[in-house]
């Protein structure tokens, strides 16, 4: 099978010790079994397919993205499969293994120094921050007439939709329907996974409670 057909349909694995200690059936979605090794393969694929459908990228395009690793790796696989070049902007402090993987997959890697998203003095976007650099590269490229597009996982709702269309339906089907699923728990990065799954569950399993797990001091706690 090609990369596209291998994304998703990951199994649910019973966490025996936790299930036995709590008296609940606790299952883990084995997203590491996606071909790129993480849940981020799902949005990586959908971000590209959505942009193609909307006419935002053309054959042979260059894709840019800000990533801490996993989305970039997923995008590198998708771009290789669909004939695109990839430029990833990543903080230099990210794991060397992720940097090396991206390079081996053919992505161009631009490493940035850790710095604030916005200038603390002016409040203006800090264009050296990897979040800001990726869309800037695409904007400047388009102004030069280049065939280039930033998928922008952080702001692109196709990220969330990937999980509404795949992860959420898979989970409900695998547990045997809405009556079997009492709670769904997830951590968050961009918010795409928990956003898409929770929206699907609210539409198809409104009795399921959705819980965001994050560390003490979470910037999301007030929300």
**Are residues 99 and 77 in contact, defined by beta-carbon separation less than 8 angstroms?**
no
- Three-class SS of residue 12? strand
Q: How many CA atoms lie within 13 A of 185 on its CB side?
A: 5
The yes-or-no answer on residue 85 being catalytic is: no
Cα(195)–Cα(160) distance, integer angstroms: 6
Choice among 40, 98, 180, 209 that is catalytic: 40
Which residue bears the tokens 């193609």?
52
Q: Minimal CA–CA distance to 193: which of 168, 170, 214?
A: 168
Q: Catalytic residue numbers? A: 40
């Amino acid at each position: 099978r090609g990369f596209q057909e291998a994304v998703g349909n990951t199994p649910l694995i019973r966490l025996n010790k936790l299930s036995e200690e709590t008296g609940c059936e606790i299952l883990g979605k084995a997203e590491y079994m996606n071909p790129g090794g993480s849940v981020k393969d799902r949005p990586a694929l959908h971000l590209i397919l959505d942009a193609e459908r909307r006419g935002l990228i053309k054959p042979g395009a260059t894709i840019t993205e800000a990533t801490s690793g996993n989305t970039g790796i997923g995008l590198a696989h998708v771009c290789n499969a669909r004939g695109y070049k990839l430029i990833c902007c990543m903080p230099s402090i990210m794991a060397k293994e992720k940097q090396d993987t991206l390079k081996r997959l053919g992505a161009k890697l631009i490493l940035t120094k850790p710095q604030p998203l916005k200038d603390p003095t002016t409040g203006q976007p800090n264009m050296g921050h990897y979040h800001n650099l990726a869309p800037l590269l695409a904007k400047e490229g388009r102004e030069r007439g280049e065939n280039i597009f930033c998928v922008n996982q952080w702001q692109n709702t196709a990220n969330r939709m990937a999980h509404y269309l795949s992860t959420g339906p898979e989970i409900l089907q695998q547990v045997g329907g809405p009556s079997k699923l009492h709670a769904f728990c997830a951590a968050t990065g961009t918010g795409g996974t928990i956003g898409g799954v929770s929206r699907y569950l609210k539409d198809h399993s409104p009795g399921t409670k959705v819980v965001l797990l994050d560390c003490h001091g979470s910037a999301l706690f007030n929300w």
